[in-house]
Structures are given as C-alpha cells and as structure tokens.
Amino acid sequence: DAGITQSPRYKITETGRQVTLMCHQTWSHSYMFWYRQDLGHGLRLIYYSAAADITDKGEVPDGYVVSRSKTENFPLTLESATRSQTSVYFCASKVGGQSTDTQYFGPGTRLTVL
C-alpha cells in the first residue's frame, strides 16, 4: 500500500537548471495537487489537475510546468530554477470533486536552489 510517493526526497540544484519533481499515487485518485511550503506561509497551491490531461494554475504557478499524461503521475518541472524556488514541495491527491473530500499528501521533496 504505497499510497502517494514523491521523488527525489531531497534535491540540490543550481540556479538556471531544469528540475523535475515526481509524484506518483496508487489509488487512482482523479485530483492531484502540487503545493510549496515556506516558513511563515501556509501551503500554497502551485498547480492542480482534475484528471489526466486536465491541469490548471493555482496561486503561485510562475516558473513551474506540470503535465498529467497518466492518472497516477503528476510531475512538476521547474524550467529554470531560481533561489526563490527553494522550498519544500508537497504533492497531494483526492478521490473526487467534493469540497469535503480528504486530500492525502506525499512525504515532500526538499529542494534547495543554490
């Protein structure tokens, strides 16, 4: 019962490099989300997806790209990493579109951009 996994768990990269964070869930949940968490801020939504091939911007999408060719995968790409993108990134999923549905989070990826 793997649930939702993220890889890598830790990543150090340099400014200007492209980085892809992976998210995989085994529940076949329709909805998936990417958040970033920074000190002093709550989790902020970067992108979300309601189903395969359907994605939309969240609160802080600039500098990020997502894709969802398969229901179980939702990779997040930083096209040209900047220091301000140093953060902890959480992927989440939920089964349906009800506002009351629980979101389940992956373990997070701690990204440092030098």
Contact set with another protein (CB under 8 A): 31, 33, 35, 37, 40-45, 48, 50, 58, 88, 90, 94, 97-103, 105-108, 110
For the bound state, the minimum distance from the C-beta of residue 37 to another protein, rounded and expressed in Å, comes to: 7
β-strands 109-113, 10-13 pairing: parallel
Decide whether 53 or 79 has the Cβ nearer to another protein: 53
Residue 16 CB, nearest distance to another protein (Å)? Answer: 26
Is the CB of 16 or the CB of 107 nearer to another protein?
A: 107
**Closest listed residue to residue 12, CA positions, set 82, 110, 78:** 110
| Cβ proximity to another protein, 47 vs 81, nearer residue | 47
Residue 19 contacts residue 35 (beta carbons within 8 Å):
no
Contacts 24+ apart (CB under 8 A), 65-70: 66/34, 68/32
Dihedral, CA of residue 107, residue 70, residue 97 and residue 36, to nearest 10: 30
Minimum separation from the CB atom of position 65 to another protein (A): 19
